[in-house]
Amino acid sequence: MFNSKKRLAREAVFALLVSSSPLFGQVGLGIPLTHARLRNGLEVIFSEDASLPVVSVAVAYNVGSVNEPAGKSGLAYILENLMFSGSDNVAPFQHFQFINRVGGELSASASEERTLFYQTVPSNQLALALWLEADRMKSLEISEGAFERARSALLDDLAQKKSEPYYDSHLSFDQLVFSDYAHSHPVLGTEADVRNLTVEDVRAFHDGYYAPNNAVLCVTGNFNPAWARELVTRFFETIPRGKDAETSFEPPVYVKRQVVRSFQDPLASSPAFHMGFRIAPRFSNDYYVLAIVDQILFGGRSSRLVRKLLGRDNKIAYQAGGKIDKRKDQSVYKLFCVVNNAAMGDRCQEAIFAELDKLKQKVLPDAELARYKTMFEHDYLERLSSSRERAIFLCESFLSLMKFDDLPLELGKHMKVTAFDIIGILNRYFTAENSIILNVKTK
């Protein structure tokens, strides 16, 4: 255990680094939230919830496939797997054994924007979870053998993906809507790039991004705040700060004009089409309106385009869906529809633009907008309902906003969206001139 004087000294250091401790309750959520920044740059978020005797620990690194150099795609995905390859005090894959042995669960994910690791354990195992994350943050071992195994597994995944219908068309569509390499290449990488990667490439990528000053740690659930602060100080404070990560991107210049292309997919049994609209990025004020627009268009069975395309009485698509695709400083609203034949594809596209025009020209009734907002609020709060989901949500939100004080205000900004805001956003972004369409044809 700690010497008591050392413990008090570390507590004092941590206390100096703790910023304000606002409550999400200021906007009706009732969730305590405390933020700190360690001297090595690690951001730390605590959020207590005594409803269950569990605690979740999540660490998110502000790195994803957008940070990969040209010709070296797949690095972020490989490193997500290599983070379990062992460290100074943890043998390869022993991280899983430690967590499973105490009845916990864990997982990880890599995306275009970030790499996330999280585990949920009984409350009395908080020290274990924090120690495991700190040990690999400080001393991850990347051996030649571990790298070769991870690369082989990724090549197997890529081979499996290549056998799936519409997979290649999704990649081709991304290259249309995101014209720059950083945003357009797949998280899994390409087979040619992955085969050419070396263990030195992986180590260099790790050294550039997987450091405390490029990460956020979140502890949620049933824990003693003073004890949690002491553990975080003990395990993470001595980890050296890394070099400042390269996070800026040269924004591409887009000409606002409709783009229509075709793609032949020999694996597809039915025609399909991708449609996209370039929209404002995540940190823009327009995004709060766009999130409600997403709810209006594809937020459940009662949403406008779900009823229009998949309604019981007028079903004109086999499959239809839409969502906002956020990649650092760029965002696109994407739709994907599978149809019976090319003629039905044309009809679907016409129906989509007709519904968008209707929304642009007629003010959404108050009751309908209120229903969409209620659905959005429910989905938003659902992400805070368990310690694991809350930890993931807080990590992702913090990295998206990069400003702690914005977090408690997020939901309120969405709830203030008006029907006239929606008309303005639809006319600004959801136009034929701003659309990108890729028609997928069968062989």
Phi, psi angle pair for 241, to nearest 5°: -65, 140
92 part of a folded domain: yes
95 plus 223 within the same structural domain: yes
Q: What is the pLDDT of residue 29?
A: 55
Residue 402's pLDDT is: 58
> What's the CATH number where 289 sits?
3.30.830.10
What does the alpha-carbon distance between residue 289 and residue 296 come to, in Å, rounded to a whole number?
A: 11
**Shared-domain flag, residues 144 and 227:** yes
Name the domain boundary from 186, 205, 236: 236
What is the tally of structural domains in the chain? Answer: 2
Instruction: Assess whether 272 and 212 both reside in one domain.
Output: no
Per DSSP, 251 falls in state P
Domain membership flag for residue 55? yes
- Can you give the residue range of the structural domain that contains 274? 259-442
Q: 97 in a domain, yes or no?
A: yes
Q: How many CB atoms sit inside 10 A of residue 240's CB?
A: 9
* The pLDDT of residue 306: 96
Domain-embedded: residue 69: yes
Q: Which of 221, 236, 251 is the last residue of a domain?
A: 236
Q: Is residue 432 part of a domain?
A: yes
Q: Which residues of 422-440 are buried (b: 16+ CB within 10 A; e: fewer)?
A: bbebbebbbbeebbbbbbb
Pairing of strands 259-265, 435-442: parallel
187 and 110 within one domain = yes
Q: What is the predicted pLDDT for the residue at 14?
A: 45
User: Which residue's structure tokens are 């274990």?
Assistant: 128
Helix count (H) and strand count (E) of the chain?
17, 11
Residue 104's nearest CA partner among 134, 129, 137, 83 is 129
128 and 95 fall within a common domain: yes
Residues 287, 226 share a domain: no
The verdict on residue 249 lying in a domain is no
Residues 264, 227 share a domain: no
> Is residue 136 assigned to a domain?
yes
Cα–Cα distance, 431 to 425 (Å, whole number): 10
| Residue where one domain finishes, among candidates 203, 236, 269 | 236
Same domain, 164 and 276: no
Provide the 10 A C-beta neighbour count for residue 350. 11
Strands 105-110 and 115-122: antiparallel
Which phi-psi region, left, alpha or beta, contains residue 15 (left: φ > 0; alpha: ψ -120 to 50)? Answer: alpha
Residue 327, token pair as written in the block? 């990649």
Q: Are residues 216 and 281 in the same domain?
A: no
Q: Which residues contact 268 (CB under 8 A, 6 or more apart)?
A: 165, 166, 169, 440, 441, 442, 443
Tell whether 295 and 212 lie within a shared domain: no
Q: Specify whether 270 is located in the same domain as 160.
A: no
Q: For residues 129, 133, 138 and 142, what is the CA-based torsion angle, rounded to 10 degrees?
A: 120
Mean pLDDT for back-to-back runs of 10 residues, the chain (443 residues): 42 42 44 91 95 96 95 97 96 97 97 97 98 98 97 97 96 94 95 98 96 97 96 97 79 83 96 97 92 96 94 90 92 97 95 97 96 95 92 92 74 94 97 97 91
252 belongs to a structural domain: no
Largest distance between two CA atoms of the chain: 77
Task: Looking at the structure, tell me whether residues 317 and 361 fall in a common domain.
Answer: yes
